[in-house]
């Protein structure tokens, strides 16, 4: 009987020697392990026959079987390590990625410089407690001119070369009509800014373009004076352009403000730059919208967003804003 065991051990060893030679993967290795060492494996089966041996032979047979089992187990461990290392190497090769290669990148869009500047201006005034109000770009003669104290035959109309669309309908020449619309729909106090696109029949050059953008401000309340207007503008200049600017008011004329002023700023030693028109709201405008000029006063100003952007960033041609050249737009 021991002979029989010895023969079988030899057979299993031979079989193992043959199989272990080409095991291509961990999966096959596991199959082979089960075939030899599994619960119903060749070697395990042989162990169960030990019981049938006479006890004198059992020890020797057990020793043989254990030796073979140890041998196979050890070999399987070694094979496993080798195969795992090989699998890992293959995975790394498959997933090889050269981090030093230049990336393929997607162009990220951003806001147009005029939009950025508009938002920045809005932010400054919103923090001071002003609301943002908007209105139609196609306006009636009434809101764009008449209600602003510019009757049909007024010479001031010549200053606003307008695009007329139909009888009494035009593309607004400023955002002042928004102020009329707001005042007609609200009781004072009113504290608004009106950003928006405006149109004038200008021939394009470095400083003119038939489409441009404005922000106008209007504050109506009891007891407001030119001093409040000056403070607001000073505060705006400090926040938008930074410290170190001085400011100058000079007389001007607008039909809807009295007195009216032109505001210039300059850095010490620099040239004076005009930044806006401003003034105290004309009593005739208050009467038109149903406010009592004996009770409230107010002031307004209007600035061009293009002009603000050009001064802030040193842009010397307004047409650049409208040419959609990425090389220009990408700089902001």
Q: Convert 236-271 to b/e letters by CB count within 10 Å (16 or more is b).
A: bbebbbeeebeeebeeeebbbbeebbbbbbeeeeee
CA 176 to CA 194: how far, in whole Å? 8
Q: Convert 94-108 to b/e letters by CB count within 10 Å (16 or more is b).
A: eeeeeeeeeeeeeee
Provide the minimum distance between the beta carbon of 263 and ligand PHE in the complex, in angstroms, as a whole number: 10
Nearer of residues 174 and 181 to ligand PHE, judged by Cβ: 174
Provide the minimum distance between the beta carbon of 122 and ligand PHE in the complex, in angstroms, as a whole number: 17
Residue number closest to ligand PHE, CB atom: 302
Are 192 and 133 in contact, with CB atoms under 8 Å apart? Answer: yes
Nearer of residues 113 and 302 to ligand PHE, judged by Cβ: 302
Token pair 């009467």 in the structure block, residue: 287
Provide the minimum distance between the beta carbon of 301 and ligand PHE in the complex, in angstroms, as a whole number: 5
The strand pair at 211-221 and 190-199 is best described as antiparallel
Provide the minimum distance between the beta carbon of 143 and ligand PHE in the complex, in angstroms, as a whole number: 12
Nearer of residues 41 and 279 to ligand PHE, judged by Cβ: 279
Build a one-symbol-per-residue string for 287-306: x at contacts with ligand PHE by CB under 6 A, - elsewhere: -------------xxx----
CA 120 to CA 188: how far, in whole Å? 26
Nearer of residues 19 and 252 to ligand PHE, judged by Cβ: 252
Using left for φ > 0, alpha for ψ between -120 and 50, and beta otherwise, residue 13 falls in alpha
Site size for ligand PHE (CB under 6 A): 11
Nearer of residues 62 and 259 to ligand PHE, judged by Cβ: 259
Find all residues with CB under 8 Å of 129, minimum gap 6, and list them. Answer: 191
Phi, psi dihedrals of residue 60, rounded to the nearest 5°:
-65, -45
Nearer of residues 196 and 302 to ligand PHE, judged by Cβ: 302
With CA atoms as reference, report the closest residue to 44 among 54, 34, 52. Answer: 34
Provide the minimum distance between the beta carbon of 172 and ligand PHE in the complex, in angstroms, as a whole number: 10
Nearer of residues 43 and 261 to ligand PHE, judged by Cβ: 261
Nearer of residues 300 and 308 to ligand PHE, judged by Cβ: 300
With CA atoms as reference, report the closest residue to 213 among 266, 172, 254. Answer: 172
Residues within window 185-224 making contact with ligand PHE, judged by CB under 6 A: 216
Tokens of 209: 């373009």
Provide the minimum distance between the beta carbon of 212 and ligand PHE in the complex, in angstroms, as a whole number: 10
Provide the minimum distance between the beta carbon of 269 and ligand PHE in the complex, in angstroms, as a whole number: 28
Residues within window 10-69 making contact with ligand PHE, judged by CB under 6 A: none
Residues within window 138-177 making contact with ligand PHE, judged by CB under 6 A: 174, 176
Q: Does position 307 bind ligand PHE by CB under 6 A? A: no
Provide the minimum distance between the beta carbon of 239 and ligand PHE in the complex, in angstroms, as a whole number: 20
Q: Is the bond into 259 cis (omega within 30 degrees of 0)?
A: yes
Provide the minimum distance between the beta carbon of 206 and ligand PHE in the complex, in angstroms, as a whole number: 19
Q: Determine the distance from the C-alpha atom of residue 95 to the mean position of all C-alpha atoms in its chain, rounded to a whole number.
A: 33
Nearer of residues 176 and 297 to ligand PHE, judged by Cβ: 176
Residues within window 223-282 making contact with ligand PHE, judged by CB under 6 A: 254, 257, 277-279
Which helix (H) or strand (E) element contains residue 170?
strand 169-171
**Residue 303: count of CB within 10 angstroms of its CB:** 23
List interacting residues with ligand PHE (CB under 6 A).
174, 176, 216, 254, 257, 277-279, 300-302
């Amino acid at each position: 009987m021991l002979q029989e065991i010895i023969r079988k051990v030899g057979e299993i060893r031979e079989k193992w020697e043959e199989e272990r030679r080409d095991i291509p993967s961990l999966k096959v290795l596991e199959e082979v392990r089960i075939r030899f060492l599994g619960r119903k494996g060749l070697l395990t089966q042989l162990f169960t026959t030990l019981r049938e041996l006479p006890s004198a032979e059992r020890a020797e047979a057990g020793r043989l079987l254990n030796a073979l089992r140890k041998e196979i187990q050890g070999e399987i461990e070694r094979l496993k390590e080798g195969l795992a290392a090989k699998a890992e190497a293959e995975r790394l090769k498959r997933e090889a990625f050269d981090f030093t290669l230049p990336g393929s990148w997607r162009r990220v869009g951003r806001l147009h410089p005029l939009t950025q500047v508009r938002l920045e201006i809005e932010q400054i005034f919103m923090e001071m407690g002003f609301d943002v109000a908007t209105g139609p770009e196609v306006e009636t003669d009434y809101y764009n001119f008449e209600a602003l104290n510019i009757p049909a035959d007024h010479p001031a109309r010549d200053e606003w070369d307008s695009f007329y669309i139909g009888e009494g309908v035009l593309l607004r020449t400023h955002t002042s009509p928004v102020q009329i619309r707001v005042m007609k729909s609200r009781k004072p106090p009113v504290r608004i800014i009106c950003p928006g696109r405006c149109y004038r029949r200008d021939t394009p050059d470095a400083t003119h373009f038939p489409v441009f953008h404005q922000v106008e401000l209007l504050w109506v309340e009891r007891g407001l004076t030119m001093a409040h207007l000056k403070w607001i503008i000073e505060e705006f200049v400090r926040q938008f352009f930074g410290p170190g600017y001085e400011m100058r008011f000079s007389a001007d004329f607008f039909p809807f403000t009295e007195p009216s002023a032109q505001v210039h700023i300059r850095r010490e030693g620099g040239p004076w730059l005009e930044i806006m028109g401003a003034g105290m709201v004309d009593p005739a405008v208050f009467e038109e919208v149903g406010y009592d000029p004996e009770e409230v006063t107010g002031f307004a100003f209007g600035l061009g967003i293009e002009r603000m952007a050009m001064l802030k960033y040193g842009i010397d041609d307004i047409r650049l804003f409208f040419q959609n050249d990425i090389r220009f737009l990408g700089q902001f």
